[in-house]
Every structure is written in structure tokens, then in C-alpha cells.
Chain A
């Protein structure tokens, strides 16, 4: 059984950690810096910060949160939301990010993927894809928290992104996000089997059985968890223990 990564995904609006359903109807959960710190202490493998409004209003409020987090959290930190240029990436890395997740700007100008990969390495360039199911085995990529269609087929876009230099794919199912009904395993498997780089499954984790399913059936290389952690429905050590008991290989703490 391959080793997988357990990732905490923190969606941010202004100074707050928020959570929605289908990426909408956002509710404030708390101070993201405190949650990030706790997850680090509990042994999270990576953290992802996603600014949920930056793309919409053309601003980026994440720098302070990232800077504060990077001060005492020493696991990989991916930051997404409103990143449009190599300069934006540099600023985010300077603040303390290790990787950036780019969706909208990459859809608008795919060469940005290559520019970021050339400048900072592919390992820094995470292609963020928001996928909505359009029928059996067909998904369309969306931007702006699942509001705007792109006309791009998710599988074709994922392959193109990797050819351009993306080193990982953060794959969010808009349909499943916030529902706690499990991941879209068909989506994750279709993308993961189409590209050589790791795929992070995001959206829908309600329990450990979903985690096991998306790894075994969906071929996910990493799993992003949000409200299961934020609302403490299950703490990280318990998730790790249950995942191990189910035959997954996770980091021993």
C-alpha cells in the first residue's frame, strides 16, 4: 500500500478560517493561525491555505496569516487564491509559503504554469482544479469557488497543466465539497491515472471510510481534510490510527 499524505485544508476569508458547502455559504470557524498550529502539533503532513475571496475582489489578505504560520510551523505550506503572476508567487514564498496553488490565472493564461515552474521549480507549482460533474465520467473545470465555467474538460486540463510544469494537482470536487458524503472517487481516479504527478483529493470527507475509499478506489496520493478537522468531528491522531488500521500507510508520529 503506498504511503499517503494527510493534508489540512484551511479556507480563508479576510482574517478568518471559514467553511462552506459546495464552496458557498461560508461560515466563520475561527482563527486560522491557531488551527494551523494545532494541526502541526498533532502531526499534519502539510497545510493548504485557500483564500476564498481573493479571486473575486482582486486582493490578497493572506500574507499576514501565512507569515505568522511560517514562523512556527515547519511542514510544507501551500497557499492559493488570487495568485496571478510570478511576482505574486515570489511575494507568497517570501511570506512563508512553500508551494502555490493556482486556478483562475492558470486558466486565463496557461503559460503562467511554466513561468512559475521555471522560476521556482515544479514542486512549487500546484495546479488547483475545481471540478463539477457534467455526466458519467465527464467533469468540467470551474473557477471562483465553483461559480464560473471554463469550458475545459478536467482530464484534458490536468494533463495540459502537467505538461506545462505543474508538479501536483489539488483536485476539488465542487459537488462533494462540504457535504461530508465522501469524495468523488471516479473523478480522483480518472485524474490520478491520467497524470504522472501526485493528486490531492479534496472535498467530501465525512469519515475515515471516505479517506480509505479515495485512496484505494480513487488512487489519491494525498487527501485534503477540512471540516472534519475544523469542527473536531475526528481529531488527526484518531484519523491516522484508523487509516493505519484500514491498511493505509501514513506517517508514524
Chain B
């Protein structure tokens, strides 16, 4: 019996790549925008690309905002990817201030338009960045990053990034020209990746594999 995952369809972006990668890792994948189906699933992935406000609207129109909060409270594994990770936190400053799902306290802020040396850099930030263990965190063995070595690179494409209120929610960091980027966050059963595990080669597949084999309570 394959471990089952539901990928949330809220009308935003391309779900095919993430579904293919999950299947490659051995998951039985269902795609759904139905709150009842999602609430009944053992594991849920919230993917997404594009603008934050469009994403929240897409969730709200389908009653999925309540469903995602309810699902997170159920204690079962939930993984947000890229915009999906950003939607997990409290607010976003992308094109005005918008409320997020508020599952993990934090803010979504614009990546500074210049690197730490003051020189302008490209936005969006597109490329591969090495993952670092945040200060104060003791490795990744208790997380979906188990088995990923610090320094392994993952693929990111984003213009905004998450700042969790609680430093302990930082699971992995990377940097863009000296600017700190929260690459992954975790709070209990809920995790988020700013990077695309489905496009990050063997390291990304390892993370997805960990996620689909994490045990629901």
C-alpha cells in the first residue's frame, strides 16, 4: 500500500511537477480542491506559485483556508512549498499587507533589492543555494531534512521570503548575496520549503521521501 498524499489544488500554478516527484518517491497522489477530501487525507502538500493575495483568494473561494487550518490542527503532516510555505504564516507584505493562514507565526517580506555589500542584485532570486543549519538548531534528524547534508543545494525561485516570529521555527537557512533567506520552516507537524524539493535533484527527492514516510498520528 502506497503512502497517500493529497496535493491541494486551489487554482494556482502548475501541480504536475510536484505530483510527479511525489509519485517517483512512492506516494499515491490525489489532487483535490475539496475541503472534505483534504480533511480525510493522511498527508497534505500545499504547493503554489504566483502572488500571495491570489493564493489566499484561491484558498478562500474554495473554503480551503479553514480546511488548511483545521488540517494543521489535526496533527497530520502538512508541507507547504514555495508560495504554499508563505501562505502558512501570518501576514505578507507583497503588494500591500495581506493576512495569511496564520498556522506558523511569521511574516512574508520582500528580498532586499541589494546584497549585503549594497550592490543591486536580480529579483526574483532564481538558482541553487546551499542549505545551512540555523544557529541554535541541532541538525535535521528530527525533520523532513533528515539525511540531507548541510551545504547541499536546492532550487529556489522567489521574490519574497518568510521571517518566522519564533527563531526555533527556522529549519534551514540559505543566503542570497549575504541576505538571509528562510529556506525551510517547521512547527510541529507543519513544515514549509521556500525551495522546490521536486526540482532540487536527489536532495529534494530525499526530502519528499521523508515527508511521505512521516507517520500520521
Contacts and interface: CB of A to CB of B under 8 A. Distances in A.
A202 B20 CA distance: 29
Contact of B16 (A43, A72, A96): A96
B205 interface: yes
Given A2-B177, A251-B153, A70 B124 contact: no
Contacts of A71: 20, 24
| Chain A contact residues: helix, strand, loop or mixed | loop
Interface string B112-154: 0000000001111011111000000000000000000001010
Contacts of A222: 126-127
A221 B201 CA distance: 20
Q: Which of B17, B177, B202 has the most CB of A within 10 A?
A: B17
A75 B20 CA distance: 12
Interface residues of A, number: 31
A70 B20 contact: yes
How many residues of B sit at the interface, in one of the four size bands? 20 to 34
Interface stretch (A119-127, A134-142, A203-211): A119-127
A110 interface: no
A3 B124 contact: no
Interface string A24-52: 00000000000000001001010000000
Contacts of B157: 123, 167
B201 A72 contact: no
Nearest to B17: A98
Nearest to A221: B122
Nearest 4 Cβ contacts at the A-B interface: A121-B49, A251-B128, A121-B50, A123-B157
9 contacts: A3-B127, A3-B129, A70-B17, A70-B20, A71-B20, A98-B199, A123-B49, A123-B126, A252-B130
